[in-house]
Amino acid sequence: MPSVERARDAEPLYELPYLPYKEDALEPFISAETLAYHYGKHHKAYVDRVNQLVQNTKFAGLPLQALILRVGNDADYTELFNNAAQAWNHTFYWHSLTPDRGSRIPAELEQRITASFGSVSAFRDQFVKAAVERFGSGWAWLVLDGDALKIVTTTNAQNPLLARNKPLLTIDVWEHAYYLDYQNRRAEYARAVVESLLNWNFALGNLHRD
C-alpha cells in the first residue's frame, strides 16, 4: 500500500495518502458521508498532528513504520505514537477495504484460513465477533503470527506491529468509522465489512511482504 511517508522535497512531513477509491465507492455499506469525515477529517488530523509532534525531535525523518516501532514503548512519546500509529492504521484500513465485491479469496489464503479457523465461514464469524467485543475504541486485525493466521484486537491506536505480528487486514471499530451509518450497531457494520468489503488481494500481498 502507499505509505504515509515523508515528502521528498524539503518539507519534513508525512503526507495524507490518497484514498484508493472514491468516497462513495463503498456504498451502501459505508456512506460517502462517513468516508468524507473519516478520511478527510479524522485521518487528516492524525497526519497533521504527527507532523507537528515529530518536528524538533530526534525522530524527524524516520519512515512512519520505523517511527511507530521506535516510540511505541516510550512513555515520553505517547501522543507522538498515538498519532503516528493512527495515521498508519487508517492507511492500512482503507486498503483493507475494496468496492470490488466479487473478489474471491485467493486459494492460498483460503487454505490458510481453513487451516487456522476451520472454514472461511468460521473465520468470518470470529472476525465479526472480535470486532464487536473490542471494548471501546480500537481495531480488529487478521495477522500472521509465525506460521498461523490469527485474529487479534488492539485498543485505541495500538497495532500488531509492536508485537511483531504481520497485519493482513484490519477493521476500524472506533465509533467514527460507523456511527453515521449504523449508530450503535457495530455488529451490523462489522458484518458488512467482513462479508462485502474485505480486500483479499491486499491481504495476500501483505502475506508475502517481507
Residue with smaller CB distance to Fe ion, 117 or 174: 174
Would you give the distance in Å from CA 62 to the centre of its chain? 20
Choose the binding region for Fe ion from 97-105, 119-127, 156-164, 172-180 (rule: CB under 5 A): 172-180
* Contact call for residue 172 and Fe ion (CB under 5 A): yes
Nearer to Fe ion, 72 or 138 (CB): 138
Q: Which residue is closest to Fe ion by CB?
A: 172
Shorter beta-carbon distance to Fe ion: residue 23 or 172: 172
CB-wise, 46 or 127, nearer to Fe ion? 46
- Closest to 172 measured CA to CA, from 150, 128, 140: 140
174 is a contact residue toward Fe ion (CB under 5 A): yes
Phi, psi values for residue 23, rounded to 5°: -65, -25
Nearest distance from C-beta of residue 70 to Fe ion, angstroms: 23
- Cβ partners under 8 Å of residue 102, min gap 6: none
Q: Please report how close the Cβ of residue 176 comes to Fe ion at its closest, in angstroms.
A: 5
User: Which 8-state DSSP code applies to residue 76?
Assistant: G
Residues 43 and 93: their CA atoms lie apart, in Å, by: 11
Segment holding 142, helix H or strand E = strand 138-145
Residues making contact with Fe ion (CB under 5 A): 172, 174, 177
